[in-house]
């Protein structure tokens, strides 16, 4: 089984973007055990479907990545997705905190450059972290091209990997991303099946694997059953979120069709 694993922040707040540092240390111990191969996203995609392998990704570029993750991952491939306009600032996207999410500092350009020099792959995560499905085509292009340009200018990295903010993607957004990047990651909660679009790669969020034994059950019937249940619950919440965002008139029309 092959999968791309997602982390965001390593902290003890218990938020939906957070994994405690102690839990991450346990994950790394298992990842280094030899049970699975840990590789880059391009290499993962090239492996046979029956190989047990993962690629590690971190979204947003929190300072705690350098403090708590990088020291444990020396020699281990990992991709860090950067929100370029917020580099050196915080994760208050749009200038305001998100409910239930801690406001945390993000790495600055010198720190990102040092991480790139040490072997960390830097990917693009947009300029300002908007939901790309809600903005105009021109704004989407600015978010994508602007992020890539800033990464190249400040670190020398020309990113070919992208992660959708909030995991939000439509065919139109995916086409815009595919025109600028070779690979892009969604928040679709599943392993690789072998026939994915390179612009819509699924990932498994490690927030759901904090309990001891969850990640270590990799590939077992229990692992697959748990992942399927989490995927169903997430899908239900996403449908409810989208329904809440629709205008009342549109909801009324849809209820009659």
DSSP codes, the chain: -EEEEEE-EE-SS--TTEE-HHHHHHHHHHHTTTSSEE--HHHHHHS-TTS-EEEEEEEE-BHHIIIIIGGGGTTS-EEEEE-GGGTTSBS-GGGSPPTT----BB--HHHHHHHHHTTPEEEE--SS---GGGS-HHHHHHHHHHHHHHHHHHHS----EEE-GGG---HHHHHHHHTT-SEEEEEEES---S---TTSEEEEEGGGG-STTTGGGTTSHHHHHHHHHHHHHHHHHHHHHHHHHS-HHHHHHHHT-
Which pLDDT belongs to residue 242?
A: 59
User: What are the structural domain ranges in the chain?
Assistant: 2-212, 220-257
| Rounded distance between C-alpha atoms, residue 106 and residue 127, angstroms | 13
Q: What would the pLDDT profile of 157-177 be if each residue is shown by its tens digit?
A: 999 999 999 999 999 999 999
Token pair in block for residue 177: 């991303």
Its pTM stands at 0.92
Which pLDDT belongs to residue 247?
A: 52
**Topology of domain 2-212, CATH:** TIM Barrel (3.20.20)
Query: Residue 172's CB: how many other CB atoms inside 10 A?
Result: 12
CB 159 within 8 A of CB 184: no
| Rounded distance between C-alpha atoms, residue 13 and residue 87, angstroms | 22
Q: Which residues of the chain have pLDDT under 50?
A: 248-257
């Amino acid at each position: 089984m092959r999968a791309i694993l997602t982390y965001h922040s390593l902290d003890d707040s218990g938020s939906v973007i957070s994994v405690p540092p102690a839990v991450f240390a346990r994950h790394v111990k298992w990842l280094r055990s030899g049970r699975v191969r840990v590789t880059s996203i391009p290499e993962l995609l090239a492996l046979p479907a029956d190989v047990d392998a993962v690629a590690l990704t971190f979204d947003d570029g929190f300072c705690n990545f350098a403090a708590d993750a990088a020291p444990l991952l020396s020699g281990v491939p990992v991709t860090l997705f950067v929100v370029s306009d917020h580099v050196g600032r915080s994760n208050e996207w749009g200038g305001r905190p998100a409910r239930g999410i801690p406001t945390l500092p993000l790495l600055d350009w010198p720190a990102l450059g040092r991480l790139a020099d040490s072997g960390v792959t830097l990917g693009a995560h947009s300029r300002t972290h908007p939901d790309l499905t809600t903005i105009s085509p021109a704004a989407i292009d600015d978010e994508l091209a602007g992020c890539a340009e800033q990464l190249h200018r400040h670190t020398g990295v020309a990113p070919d990997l992208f992660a959708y903010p909030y995991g939000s993607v439509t065919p139109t957004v995916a086409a815009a991303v595919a025109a600028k990047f070779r690979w892009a990651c969604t928040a679709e909660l599943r392993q690789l099946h072998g026939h994915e679009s390179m612009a819509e790669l699924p990932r498994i969020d490690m927030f759901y694997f904090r309990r001891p034994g969850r990640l270590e059950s990799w590939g077992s019937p229990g692992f697959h059953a748990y992942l399927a249940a989490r995927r169903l619950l997430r899908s239900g919440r996403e449908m409810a979120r989208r329904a809440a965002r629709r205008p009342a008139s549109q909801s009324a029309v849809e209820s009659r069709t």
